[in-house]
Homo-oligomer: A and B are copies of this chain.
Amino acid sequence: MTTIDLAGRIEHAVLSPQATEKDLQDAVRVAVRWGVRALVVKPCHLAAAARMLASSDVKLVTVIGFPHGGQTTETKVFETREAVARGAQEIDLVLNIGALRQRDLAAVFYEIRAVVEAAAGRPVKVILENAYLDDWPKRLAGRLAARAGASYVKTGTGFAPTGATVADVALMRRSVGGRLGVKAAGGIRSYADAVALVEAGADLIGTSHTEAILTEAARRAA
């Protein structure tokens, strides 16, 4: 895969709980230098990130209900509206993991739909957090996300005990078919990791190891 192709799939994440505005500045520089698809920031960094990215083509993405998804629907909707007002162009939403596991499908569906509406046309990615799920809720979440108007399903937050796997990406791709995109995220550290996940069906790669991944892509191209 060429460096440009891969960069066009990468969403560079600066989501650590301890990340400061200095870390945000460093991440903006990486995102702009490599021309990645998007930068993913904490909600408290949205306003600053929107200013820093104003003259670039890098999309600004934030996370809602992050990383546990245990907020109420009302809080997630409020957080989404606020994110849109502060410049978020896409929304990565952690679904209610407990509700999905207890098969409270109405709650999961309604919440995704309410956030899609609050996002007012901006694409919503639904984070499943596969680390905590059997295969059946992974499949089910894909169908619920599609019906609720989401644009992508996403494997995880990067803060669970396990990260993105080739098996999960393939399962999610089969589950959503061509209706939704698939974003792999969590523990993606190398070029080989990223390529394997793209080959398994991932449209997008969420990672904070962008420099290492794209440096290796450029080295291989040279």
Using a CB–CB cutoff of 8 Å, the interface residues on chain A facing chain B are: 15, 17-23, 42-46, 66-75, 78-79, 82, 86, 96-99, 101-102, 104, 129, 132-133, 159-160
CB <8 Å contact, B67 and A98: no
Name A133's closest neighbour in chain B (CB-CB). Answer: B18
CB <8 Å contact, A17 and B78: no
CB <8 Å contact, B44 and A98: yes
Q: Can you report 5 residue pairs joining A to B where beta carbons are below 8 Å apart? A: A42-B98, A43-B71, A43-B75, A44-B70, A75-B79
CB <8 Å contact, B71 and A79: yes
Name A77's closest neighbour in chain B (CB-CB). Answer: B78
CB <8 Å contact, B101 and A20: yes
Name A19's closest neighbour in chain B (CB-CB). Answer: B98
Each complex incorporates copies of this chain amounting to 2
CB <8 Å contact, B72 and A75: no
CB of A25 to closest CB in B, whole Å: 11
Chain B residues whose CB sits within 8 angstroms of the CB of A86 once the complex forms:
72
Complexed CA–CA distance, A73 and B43 (Å): 10
Question: Which 3 pairs across A and B sit closest by C-beta, in order of nearness?
Answer: A42-B70, A18-B132, A17-B68
CB <8 Å contact, B68 and A75: no
Residue among B42, B66, B75, B129 making CB contact with A78, cutoff 8 Å: B75
Chain B residues whose CB sits within 8 angstroms of the CB of A75 once the complex forms:
43, 75, 78-79, 82
Residue among B20, B45, B82, B97 making CB contact with A17, cutoff 8 Å: B97
Complexed CA–CA distance, A221 and B132 (Å): 39
Chain B residues whose CB sits within 8 angstroms of the CB of A78 once the complex forms:
74-75, 78-79
17 further A-B pairs in the complex, CB-CB below 8 A; given A17-B70, A17-B98, A42-B70: A15-B68, A17-B67, A17-B68, A17-B132, A18-B101, A21-B98, A42-B68, A43-B75, A45-B70, A45-B98, A46-B72, A66-B68, A72-B82, A72-B86, A74-B82, A78-B78, A78-B79
CB <8 Å contact, B82 and A20: no
